[in-house]
Amino acid sequence: MGEIKIGNAPVSWGVEEIPDWGPQLPVDRVLSEMKEAGYLGTELGPWGYMPTEYEPLKQLLDKYGLVMVSAFCPINLHTGVLNDFEISELRKEAQLLVQMGAGDIIIADSGSDSRYRVAGRVEKEAGDDKLDDTLWKKLGENLKVVADICRGYGLRVSFHPHVGTYIETADEIRRFGEVTKDLGLLYCLDTGHLAYAGADPVELFKEHADRLGVLHLKDVNLNLLDECRAKGLDFIHTTKEGVFVPLGTGHVDYPAIFKTLRDSNYSGWVIVEQDRVLGPKDNPLEDAKRSMAYLKQFLP
């Protein structure tokens, strides 16, 4: 296994781009606690949460001794024509990442309200709300445009299969791989989202071991997730119930995940994410410290 650097993301402190997600902590608190917990870098978070100009953003990160790793950029890939506004915002984020010295950008489909409502229950409840052959073809064409734009800035492109989108389940991820096999994409596999979708994270890490880019590491309480599925809760309300937990306290098989990373000689950034809607009793700093302490046992 090559050098692995550990970062975190604002979502571990409840900061999310989904509207009406929940309380949003101030950026100085998030970054100071991220540094205190021992992380080396951060993702950008929702556009506008951190400064969107180079100098103020650099000053902010330098203040806390953190580097910018990447940004998560959801784009509507699954319908007709790409949205001009989204492409404009993508260019802004790509340019800022390059200015900050980041080498990676993470792209995901933006999904839909209907798919977020049945996230984790797609096979049973999504019905016809899936991509047909025409839309799969269009998704591949749209993603090529997006990837070419990002590469034009000198960024590596990792694609993130994400719950609530049209690339969520193991079958959808494999179909995605077929449609985009000639695009040279890396994968931002997210252990928590794979488990949430009912997939086997270890199996998919093995399948894509030669194409792993920036990785997102989450842990999931599968017993609680099953309870939430039985209640028909959507992604936001399931997250609010606390289904995502500090690394090592849930059901993701991290010894097997890191064996796969060692066997494939993976090197690069892993980003700890504990998707959460902050409640009054939550302590994101202590959770971030706990996840960091757990990860250290797998690193040289």
* Cα 287 → chain centroid: 18
Q: Percent of the chain beyond pLDDT 70? A: 100
- pLDDT value for 185: 95
- pLDDT value for 23: 85
> Cα dist. 84→18, 95, 242 in Å?
20, 17, 36
Any idea what the CATH number is for the domain that residue 280 is in?
Answer: 3.20.20.150
Instruction: State the residue range of the domain holding 156.
Output: 4-296
- pLDDT value for 279: 87
Euclidean distance between CA atoms 86 and 77, whole angstroms: 10
Parts of the chain with a pLDDT under 70: 1
Domain count, the chain: 1
In the numeric block, which tokens belong to residue 250? 């849930």
- pLDDT value for 21: 84
- DSSP string of 142-188? HHHHHHHHHHHTT-EEEE---TTSSS-SHHHHHHHHHHTTTS--EE-
- pLDDT value for 280: 86
